Structure formats: C-alpha cells, structure tokens
Amino acid sequence: MSVRLFNTYSRHLEDFRPLDPAGRQVKMYTCGPTVYNHAHIGNFRAYVFEDLLQRHLEARGFVVERVMNLTDVDDKTIRGARAAGRRLADFTQVYKDAFFHDLETLRIKPANHFPAATEPRYVERMIAMIGQLEAQGIAYQAEDRSVYFRLAKFPDYGKLAHLNLDELRPSGRVNSDEYEKENIGDFALWKAWDEADGDVRWESPWGPGRPGWHIECSAMATALLGPELDIHCGGVDNIFPHHEAEIAQSECCTGRKFVRHWLHCAHLMVEGQKMSKSAGNFYTLRDLLEKGFTGREIRYALLTVNYRLPLNFTFAGLEGARAALGRIDVWVRRISDCRSQIADAGVFTGGEMSVSLGRHKNFFQALDDDLNIAGALGQLFDLIRESNSALDHGQFGPEQASELLKLWESINRVLAFEPEAAAVPAAVLALVEKRQQARADKDWQASDRLRDEIAALGWIVKDTKDGPKLSPAAA
Ligand code: AMP
Ligand code: ZN
C-alpha cells in the first residue's frame, strides 16, 4: 500500500508520489516560527506533526530534504526589538537559539536547511522576484511606496482555501479610498520604510523598505528546493492568506506548479479556543518543563491525536501521556531483560511472533493512511498487551525477544518515544572507572565490591564487549 495523504488543495486523499522520477527524493517545505518570542506548544503541534510525516516517509524508504524557514523580520520582530531596545538581529537570535533547543527537547529532527529571511542571498532573491512580478505587470508600487501583488492577475488565487476571489473585492461597506492598494485583497510584497522600522531597511528599486512575509517563504523555498515542491506544510491558519500568496508569487515567477501536496494540521485548542499569543491562552515548552513534564511526554501529548483533528490541550492529557509512556517503558524493559537471559529461559511455542509481526505491519499501514497515529498507537498497545501476556506465559525466549526489540526499534524511529537518557552522576562514573582499573589488574574481589557500591548508588553496571554499560537500577 502506498502512503495516502489528504491534500488541502484538492480536498481529497491522494496517493503520495514525489516528482523525482525514481520516486525516492522528497522536497518538503515547512513554514517555521516568527522569532519574536518563545514558540508556544500550539506552534509545536505543527512541527511535531511535520516531524511525524518526515519520519514516516523515511520509514517507507523516501529520502526527505526538508526546509524550515525562520521569519526574522516582520512587524512583530521589529516591534519586539524596539521595545527591548536591541538591534533586530540580536533580538531575534535569542529566540532562534531557544527554538533550536526546543526542537531538540521535543525530538524533532532538524531540517536540512533553516534559512533566515534576513540572510542577504534571500533578500536579494525576494527583490529579484518582486522585480520579475513588476515586469509582468503583476506587482505595482502604490502611493504609499509599498509594492503590492495585483490579485486580479492571478485567477487561481483562493483555490487552496476554496475561497471566491470576488468575496475579497471591496464591498459597499468599505470605502476603498481609504486603501492605497488598488484592491483590498492585494497583498504587500515590499513594505516601504517608515520611522517605526528604525534601522531595519534594505535598499531596493522601489526605495528603502523590507520584504513582506509571504515573499520571504516563496524566495527561500524556491532558492533551496527549486520551483516545484512535493510537500508544503503548516497549521490551518497558514492556508489563507499566507499559502495562497506563496502560490501566487511563486507560480507567477516560475511558471510551474509550486506544490503537489499541501498538508495542514488543525489547531491546538484550549477550552475551545485556538492556542495563540494574542489570546494569551498559551504555554511555552519551558512553562511545561518547569511544571515537571518532560520533552517526550509533551511530544507524546502533541502527537497522539490525528493531525487533521483539533487537539484540546489539558494537563490530564499530559498525565495520560506520562502513563502511556510508562507502559511502553516497562514493556521495553521486559523484552530487553528477556533477551539478556540465557537461551533456555522460557519455552517458546512459536505462535506469538507472527501476531507481533502482524501488529508491526498494521502500525505502519495505519500511518500510510493519512498519518493515522491514533490507529497506529492502537496497534502498538495491542502488541504490548499481547506480548506481555506471552512473556507472562513464558512463550518468548531470548531470540524472540531480540526480534521483538527490533520491531520496537523500527516503530520508535517514527515515534521517538525512548526514555530520556538519565544523567549518570559523577560519583558513579568515578566508581566505574576505578572498577575498570580493578578489572584490568584482574582484582576480581575489588571489581565485585565496586559493582555493589555502584548498585548502592542506584546504578547497574554490565560488562559488554564494548566496555561497561550503565543503566538505572529501576530499569
Ligand atoms: P507563527 O509563528 O504564528 O507563524 O506560527 C508557526 C506555525 O505554528 C504555523 O505553521 C502555524 O500555523 C502554527 N500554529 C500556530 N498556532 C497554532 C495552534 N494553536 N495549533 C497548531 N498550530 C499552530
Ligand atoms: Zn511560510
């Protein structure tokens, strides 16, 4: 079965096929954060969903090249920098660093490219694209010296959001004289400098100013991935106007279809409202870490509802994530222990592995179906229940346990739910080093005594061909 994904453009489930004639390389663009503040976990729902998509495509043999941009110049970043009395670049750097740290905490695979809008090569490209649009009569400079995209020139505008372009024209209620644009729906490509922008300005054929948000993404996407992308993602709030505008600009410049598959995740909600900075109902990752939740628990909570369904944020949901991960941990520990036993432990009756293999297959097939993570996790928990019962009845031996662990590892490459690596205290490390010395000296008595001392500190040391391996005693 192939991977089927819901395409916002067609509003249908479609078989996923990349442009690459060999069917392997996937070009994926994901709208990244505006770095004026810490991203909230609503934003991270979008990034975790995109991470799941990438990981599942990789599990299915695709090679994903992913771009995630950083919006480091717009109204909000400029306003923030001014309020903080800092240069724009210094102000945004703090939030860029924090963002990368948060991605790591949530185990989101880093993109291949993280272009920032203010990098000179991209600003040059934005200016070149606007020039190209102007030459075609699609862009025009208005009296306010800003440059706008003339919507009337792009009849496909509105197709992604399924909007009627006529609805965007000024209605009788709006006095269009108040607008300097020709058409109220026209969007800015280049914003003329004004005093509120301070020293944030670039020279351009239209005078000093800065790029609009939409052209930033078109320029960075096409610069890094070429004129045609396989996948473009974001949250549903990005569909209009941002992604519509990206399509209009890119297609008018390249003459090619910009994106084959558009995917958008539904919002993370709090009490029926979208989690957002403006509504003030948001939590950052830091807020939740301070409350004692871990990155993987938050990842689990953000991941477990299918991406096209709204996800309601609650602390009970986070507690549920903790409990579910606890079950997975206990199960992995049991099969690991079973694998380490001597070969004649347990009497394997032969039936259980085929059940497990079936569950494993079903896990990936559920994800093939538009990333049905709820169905996939259902298969995983059935696998856990069934294999726990087989373990209880001594139906798994070390070889089967080893096979089962391999199944888990391939599932976990998609989920990234493994336990946090516990930090080993310095005192334990010192004892391990002493013990290694004792072993080198063939002082077995001292070695055993040191093992007990290590155990008394809550750690178990195992000697493997790659050297000593430590694990927490509870594991
Ligand atoms: P922004 O920094 O506002 O441009 O948003 C970055 C990404 O997060 C975009 O893909 C948004 O669509 C997404 N996003 C923002 N708020 C939410 C939310 N409450 N739930 C899910 N995604 C969101
Ligand atoms: Zn974008």
- Report residue 17 CA to chain centroid gap: 21
Q: Give pLDDT, residue 295.
A: 97
Query: Is position 421 within any domain?
Result: no
| Whether residue 112 sits in one domain with residue 189 | yes
Q: What is the dihedral of CA 268, 273, 275, 280, to 10 degrees?
A: -170
Query: Is position 326 within any domain?
Result: yes
Residue, of 71 and 168, whose pLDDT is higher? 71
User: pLDDT, tens digit, for every residue of 354-393?
Assistant: 888 999 999 999 999 999 999 999 999 999 999 999 888 8
Which uninterrupted H or E stretch holds 311? strand 311-312
| Whether residue 318 sits in one domain with residue 452 | no
Integer Cα distance of 201 and 217 in angstroms: 19
Integer Cα distance of 335 and 343 in angstroms: 14
Say yes or no to pLDDT of 137 above 90: yes
User: pLDDT, tens digit, for every residue of 189-214?
Assistant: 999 999 999 999 999 999 999 999 99
| Ligand that lies nearest to the alpha carbon of residue 99, given by its number in the listed order | 1
Cα 49 to ligand 1 centre (Å):
12
Say yes or no to pLDDT of 475 above 80: no
Q: Look at residue 425 and give its three-state secondary structure.
A: coil
| Ligand that lies nearest to the alpha carbon of residue 229, given by its number in the listed order | 2
Q: Whose CA is nearest to atom 11 of ligand 1?
A: 235
Q: Whose CA is nearest to atom 17 of ligand 1?
A: 42
> Does 34 contact ligand 1 (Cβ within 6 A)?
yes
Integer Cα distance of 102 and 108 in angstroms: 9
| Whether residue 453 sits in one domain with residue 404 | no
Interval 27-33 mean pLDDT:
98
Token representation of residue 455 = 């155990």
**Given its phi and psi angles, is residue 174 left (phi above 0), alpha (psi -120 to 50 degrees) or beta?**
beta
Omega into 21 within 30° of 0, i.e. cis? no
Cα 119 to ligand 1 centre (Å):
23
The one-letter amino acid at 243: H
Residue owning tokens 């860029």: 96
Residue, of 9 and 464, whose pLDDT is higher? 9
Integer Cα distance of 203 and 194 in angstroms: 13
Interval 455-471 mean pLDDT:
85
| Whether residue 241 sits in one domain with residue 142 | yes
Q: Whose CA is nearest to atom 2 of ligand 1?
A: 33
Cα 208 to ligand 2 centre (Å):
23
pLDDT confidence tier of residue 341, bands split at 50, 70 and 90: confident
- Is there a contact between 246 and 254 (Cβ–Cβ < 8 Å)? no
Question: Measured between alpha carbons, how far is residue 418 from residues 58, 317, 329, 415, 440 in Å?
Answer: 18, 19, 8, 8, 33
Q: Look at residue 251 and give its three-state secondary structure.
A: helix
| Whether residue 359 sits in one domain with residue 251 | no
Cα 325 to ligand 2 centre (Å):
33
> Does 237 contact ligand 1 (Cβ within 6 A)?
yes
Say yes or no to pLDDT of 464 above 90: no
Query: Is position 420 within any domain?
Result: no
Interval 126-134 mean pLDDT:
98
Q: Give the residue numbers spanning the domain of 359.
A: 285-415
User: pLDDT, tens digit, for every residue of 295-331?
Assistant: 999 999 999 999 999 999 999 999 999 999 999 999 9
Q: State which ligand 1 atom lies nearest to the alpha carbon of 274.
A: 19
Integer Cα distance of 291 and 4 in angstroms: 38
> Does 234 contact ligand 1 (Cβ within 6 A)?
yes
> Does 268 contact ligand 1 (Cβ within 6 A)?
yes
Crossing angle, helix 213-225 and helix 244-254, to 10 degrees?
A: 50
Query: Is position 459 within any domain?
Result: yes
Where residue 13 sits, what CATH number does that domain have? 3.40.50.620
- Is there a contact between 110 and 102 (Cβ–Cβ < 8 Å)? no
Kindly write down the DSSP assignment for every residue of 218-241, as one continuous string. HHHHHHHH-S-EEEEEEEGGGIII
> Does 104 contact ligand 1 (Cβ within 6 A)?
no
**Given its phi and psi angles, is residue 272 left (phi above 0), alpha (psi -120 to 50 degrees) or beta?**
left
| Whether residue 359 sits in one domain with residue 434 | no
| Whether residue 79 sits in one domain with residue 59 | yes
Residue owning tokens 């306010």: 144
DSSP character for 442?
T
Say yes or no to pLDDT of 176 above 50: no
**Given its phi and psi angles, is residue 23 left (phi above 0), alpha (psi -120 to 50 degrees) or beta?**
left
Query: Is position 293 within any domain?
Result: yes
Query: Is position 278 within any domain?
Result: no
| Tally of structural domains, the chain | 3
pLDDT above 70 covers a percentage of the chain that reads 94
Query: Is position 185 within any domain?
Result: yes
| Whether residue 212 sits in one domain with residue 94 | yes
Question: Measured between alpha carbons, how far is residue 372 from residues 5, 52, 227, 303, 455 in Å?
Answer: 10, 11, 30, 10, 43
Q: Give pLDDT, residue 180.
A: 65
Cα 68 to ligand 2 centre (Å):
9
Q: Which residues pair with 232 in a beta bridge?
A: 29, 262
Query: Is position 411 within any domain?
Result: yes
Q: Is the dihedral of CA 20, 24, 27, 30 positive or negative?
A: positive
Q: Give pLDDT, residue 470.
A: 85
Pocket test for ligand 1, best of 36, 38, 108, 237 (most atoms within 8 A of CB): 237
Q: Give pLDDT, residue 164.
A: 75
Between strands 187-192 and 273-274, the pairing is unpaired
| Ligand that lies nearest to the alpha carbon of residue 239, given by its number in the listed order | 1
> Does 263 contact ligand 1 (Cβ within 6 A)?
no
| Whether residue 167 sits in one domain with residue 223 | yes
| Whether residue 195 sits in one domain with residue 84 | yes
205 burial type by CB count under 10 A (0-12 exposed, 13-18 middle, 19+ buried): exposed
Sheet holding 229-235, edge to edge: 63-68, 25-30, 229-235, 259-265
| Whether residue 39 sits in one domain with residue 140 | yes
- Is there a contact between 301 and 314 (Cβ–Cβ < 8 Å)? no
Interval 432-461 mean pLDDT:
92
Kindly write down the DSSP assignment for every residue of 275-295, as one continuous string. --TTTT---BHHHHHHTT--H
Where residue 355 sits, what CATH number does that domain have? 1.10.730.10
Pocket test for ligand 1, best of 37, 38, 43 (most atoms within 8 A of CB): 43
pLDDT confidence tier of residue 462, bands split at 50, 70 and 90: confident
pLDDT above 90 covers a percentage of the chain that reads 79
Cα 34 to ligand 1 centre (Å):
10
Say yes or no to pLDDT of 32 above 90: yes
Cα 135 to ligand 2 centre (Å):
24
pLDDT confidence tier of residue 343, bands split at 50, 70 and 90: very low
The closest of 336, 331, 328, 347 to 387, measured between CA atoms, is 331
Residue owning tokens 């909007």: 163
pLDDT confidence tier of residue 94, bands split at 50, 70 and 90: very high
Domain stops at, among 231, 265, 299: 265
| Whether residue 385 sits in one domain with residue 303 | yes
Q: Which residues pair with 26 in a beta bridge?
A: 64
User: pLDDT, tens digit, for every residue of 268-297?
Assistant: 999 889 999 889 999 999 999 999 999 999
Interval 409-436 mean pLDDT:
90
pLDDT confidence tier of residue 467, bands split at 50, 70 and 90: confident
